[in-house]
């Protein structure tokens, strides 16, 4: 039976009894509980099986290259946070729409929740390494959302929102309105109202009652209360009055309680996931003494210029770029590395096996291919690890195996030329960073470090596989998304001080920064003011060609608007190009330019 009120539609059966304006709130509350409880369930099934994380990860994998570049350009290193917030906002909008639809029909509301559950299950099951239990968070969350939606809209909380019935058309037709009895008055009497004609006086065109036609009132011309011929949905349906304030408060209290449950379950689940992490296992690790320690830093390696990046980047400040929405928690006791593919001798190593092998320690500068000219997606650290060259030699690469594909625990892949990993450079499976076990967010327990290659083709964190194959047979993660299959680092330089658009005092000004050409080395750095001559800068000493180098130049600044530019020359004599190119497909080029004002 359909029931209509001024505040919404109330119906029975598969239709709800709550006013429409409360549907959006109910939908958002149901979705919040689903996400929160699913997060708690994911403590048992793995954090990547939580719907928000699973769907977000699928979006990352399926998004086209231009969209990824746009996200990196706009949100920089906060792209993952932006993705999760955007996913949550879209989910909230969809949930509100589901709630509005559910007011009209619970069937359609359930269908919307079912779609949410299917997307969550599909995303979770397609994550690398996912098992059947990965579907549980989305399934349980969807079931709870459906139950809560019915409770809020069609259960006691929903039915209580309907106001008391008001007299409707049926009531008015059953109880004719009679004129008030005449009162004694000195006022003139009005003429009596005309009486309706009898049935015999009605025009012949009007239908008359007969045994074959239903009995009922006959429409009479001129009578306001006479039924008008035409379709009537349900003339006996009652009309409900305003929502009771007490009922409204009860409904809003229920919504608030649901949101509270969602918050406790969601944040509690995330906290438990952290507690179940590997921080304790990492803290218990004692790194071995390297067989080949890092050379000591030479005197003067740090120029001690304010705002100049330190020679060694602290772990807390080291850039982080990856596709993981949640940091993988890899237990070192369970960790295994498989070296397989086109090899004569496949190898499987445990973490203990790796720590037992001879270690090297080196200062190596890593850079991201997404680093713009003058950008900060670069850092230098002291790495401890097992050399990759001898390890690959033990496996015995077969002919044609010109690519080594590193695969992370979350399925991410990168491909490095086999020739680069075996040419004698200090490529390694790193287990330590700046004297401590790898930070979890930087790849604990094991990651790959290769001097001279951008991270997207070499720096695999949370590594679990090394597969020897060919570039013709396999494209790593970023290649189908528009990036080059091979990515040697380009010679670059950066001005750290003065900062762009700063106002300086006329007179001596120290211009300083860093330059890098990993595995090649830097021969010189030059600075130019406006369109003047290139002036040589002073280079600080460094430990080797695999790290960046600090530089400085003294400028006698004069009043006015000026533009500072910098370029580097590598150890082969090649000068850094001034042609500006964007980061894709294999790294940005151009001179870092800094405008300043001198008073």
pLDDT of residue 230: 45
The string over 294-305, giving b where at least 16 C-beta atoms fall within 10 Å of a residue's C-beta and e elsewhere, is beebeeebebeb
pLDDT of residue 568: 99
171 in a domain, yes or no?
A: no
Are residues 585 and 461 part of one domain? no
DSSP per-residue codes, 130-162: --GGGGHHHHHHHHHHHHHHHHHHTSHHHHTTS
195 in a domain, yes or no?
A: no
189 in a domain, yes or no?
A: no
pLDDT of residue 232: 42
Pairing of strands 239-240, 2-5: parallel
Strand order in 413-417's β-sheet? 347-350, 336-341, 463-469, 403-408, 413-417
Are residues 440 and 338 part of one domain? yes
Query: Measuring CA to CA, which residue among 330, 343, 320, 354 is closest to residue 429?
Result: 354
Three-class DSSP category at 219: coil
Are residues 465 and 331 part of one domain? yes
Query: Measuring CA to CA, which residue among 404, 375, 407 is closest to residue 490?
Result: 375
Are residues 340 and 249 part of one domain? no
Tokens of 577: 């190009």
* Burial (0-12, 13-18, 19+ Cβ within 10 Å), 196: middle
Are residues 41 and 12 part of one domain? yes
Q: Please tell me the total count of domains within the chain.
A: 3
Give the count of beta carbons closer than 10 Å to the beta carbon of residue 597.
14
Angle in degrees, CA 412, 416, 422, rounded to 5: 135
pLDDT, tens digit only, all 599 positions of the chain:
344 333 444 444 455 556 677 889 999 999 999 999 999 999 899 888 999 899 988 888 888 777 777 777 777 777 788 888 888 899 999 999 999 999 888 899 999 999 999 999 999 998 887 889 999 999 999 999 999 998 888 765 555 554 455 455 544 444 444 455 444 444 444 444 445 444 444 444 334 444 444 444 444 443 434 444 444 444 444 444 456 677 778 888 888 899 999 999 988 888 887 666 799 999 999 999 999 999 999 999 999 999 999 999 999 999 999 999 889 999 999 999 999 999 999 999 999 999 999 999 999 999 999 999 999 999 999 999 999 999 999 999 999 999 999 999 999 999 999 999 999 999 999 999 999 999 999 999 999 999 999 999 999 999 999 999 999 999 999 999 999 999 999 999 999 999 999 999 999 999 999 999 999 999 999 999 999 999 999 999 999 999 999 999 999 999 999 999 999 999 999 999 999 999 999 999 999 999 999 99
Three-class DSSP category at 74: helix
Strand intervals (E) in 474-584: 492-497, 502-504, 507-516, 522-529, 535-536, 538-539, 549-557, 560-570
200 forms beta bridges with none
Are residues 501 and 457 part of one domain? no
* Burial (0-12, 13-18, 19+ Cβ within 10 Å), 210: exposed
Give the count of beta carbons closer than 10 Å to the beta carbon of residue 470.
16
pLDDT of residue 17: 53
Q: How far apart are CA 87 and CA 550, in angstroms?
A: 42
Tokens of 175: 């109880």
Q: Dihedral sign, CA of 56, 58, 64, 69?
A: positive
Are residues 249 and 137 part of one domain? yes
Look up the pTM and report it.
Answer: 0.76
For residue 445, give the CATH number of its domain: 3.90.420.10
288 in a domain, yes or no?
A: no
pLDDT of residue 8: 43
Three-class DSSP category at 546: coil
Q: How far apart are CA 453 and CA 485, in angstroms?
A: 11
Are residues 499 and 472 part of one domain? no
For residue 517, give the CATH number of its domain: 2.60.40.650
Q: Could you say which of 458, 481, 504 is where a domain stops?
A: 481
Are residues 438 and 578 part of one domain? no
SS (H, E, C) 270-311: HHHHHHCCCHHHHHCCCCCCCCECCCCCCCCCCCCCCCCCCC
Asked if residues 77 and 64 have their Cβ atoms less than 8 Å apart, the reply is: no
Tokens of 24: 């959006």
570 in a domain, yes or no?
A: yes
pLDDT of residue 123: 92
Q: Could you say which of 423, 454, 481 is where a domain stops?
A: 481
Q: Could you say which of 452, 481, 510 is where a domain stops?
A: 481
Query: Measuring CA to CA, which residue among 153, 111, 131 is closest to residue 21?
Result: 153
Q: Measuring CA to CA, how many Å separate 253 from each of 97, 98, 99, 266?
A: 21, 20, 17, 20
514 in a domain, yes or no?
A: yes
Are residues 251 and 142 part of one domain? yes
206 in a domain, yes or no?
A: no
Are residues 432 and 329 part of one domain? yes
Q: Which domain holds residue 431?
A: 315-481
Are residues 397 and 509 part of one domain? no
DSSP 8-state code for residue 243: P
31 in a domain, yes or no?
A: yes
């Amino acid at each position: 039976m359909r029931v209509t009120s001024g505040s919404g539609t109330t119906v029975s059966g598969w239709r709800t009894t709550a006013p429409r304006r409360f549907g959006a709130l109910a939908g958002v509350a149901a979705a919040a509980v689903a996400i929160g409880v699913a997060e708690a369930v994911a403590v048992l099934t793995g954090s990547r099986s939580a719907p928000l994380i699973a769907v977000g990860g699928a979006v990352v994998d399926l998004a086209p290259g231009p969209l990824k570049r746009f996200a990196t350009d706009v949100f920089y290193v906060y792209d993952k946070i932006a993705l999760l917030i955007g996913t949550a906002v879209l989910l909230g909008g969809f949930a509100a729409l589901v709630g509005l639809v559910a007011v009209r029909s619970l069937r359609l509301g359930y269908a919307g929740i079912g779609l949410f559950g299917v997307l969550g299950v599909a995303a979770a099951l397609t994550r690398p390494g996912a098992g059947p239990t990965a579907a549980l968070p989305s399934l349980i969350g969807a079931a709870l959302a459906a139950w809560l939606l019915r409770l809020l809209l069609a259960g006691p909380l929903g039915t209580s929102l309907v106001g008391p019935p008001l007299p409707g058309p049926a009531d008015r037709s059953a109880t004719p309105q009679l004129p008030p009895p005449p009162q004694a008055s000195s006022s003139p009497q009005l003429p009596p109202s005309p009486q309706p004609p009898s049935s015999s006086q009605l025009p012949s065109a009007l239908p008359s009652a007969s045994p074959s036609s239903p009995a009922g009132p006959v429409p009479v011309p001129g009578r306001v209360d006479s039924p008008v011929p035409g379709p009537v949905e349900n003339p006996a349906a009652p009309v409900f009055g305003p929502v009771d304030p007490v009922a409204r408060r009860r409904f809003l209290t229920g919504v608030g309680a649901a949101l509270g449950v969602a918050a406790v379950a969601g944040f509690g689940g995330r906290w438990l996931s952290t507690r179940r992490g590997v921080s304790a296992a990492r803290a218990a690790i004692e790194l071995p003494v390297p067989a080949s320690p890092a050379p000591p830093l030479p005197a003067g390696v740090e120029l001690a210029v304010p705002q100049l990046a330190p020679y060694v980047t602290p772990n807390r400040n080291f850039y982080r770029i990856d596709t993981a929405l949640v940091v993988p928690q890899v237990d070192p006791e369970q960790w295994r590395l498989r070296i397989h593919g086109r090899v004569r001798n496949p190898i499987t190593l445990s973490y203990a096996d790796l720590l037992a092998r001879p270690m090297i320690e080196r200062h190596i500068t890593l850079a991201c291919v997404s680093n713009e000219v003058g950008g900060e997606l670069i850092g230098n650290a002291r790495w401890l690890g097992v050399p990759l060259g001898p390890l690959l030699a033990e496996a015995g690469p077969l002919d044609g195996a010109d690519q080594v594909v590193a695969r992370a625990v979350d399925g991410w892949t990168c491909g490095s030329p086999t020739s680069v990993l075996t040419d004698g450079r200090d490529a390694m499976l790193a287990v330590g960073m700046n004297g401590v076990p790898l930070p979890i967010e930087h790849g604990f327990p094991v990651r790959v470090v290769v001097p001279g290659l951008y991270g997207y083709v070499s720096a695999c964190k949370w590594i679990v596989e090394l597969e020897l194959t060919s570039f013709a047979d396999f494209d790593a993660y970023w290649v189908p998304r528009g990036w080059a299959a091979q990515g040697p680092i380009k010679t670059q330089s950066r001005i750290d001080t003065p900062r762009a658009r700063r106002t300086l005092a006329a007179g001596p000004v120290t211009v300083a920064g860093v330059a890098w050409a990993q595995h090649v080395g830097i021969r010189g750095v030059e600075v130019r003011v406006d369109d003047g001559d290139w002036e040589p800068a002073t280079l600080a000493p460094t430990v080797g060609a695999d790290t960046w180098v600090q530089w400085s130049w003294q400028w006698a600044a004069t009043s006015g608007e000026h533009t500072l530019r910098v370029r580097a020359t590598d150890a082969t004599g090649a000068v850094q190009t001034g042609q500006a190119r964007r980061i894709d497909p294999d790294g940005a080029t151009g001179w870092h330019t800094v405008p300043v004002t001198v008073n």
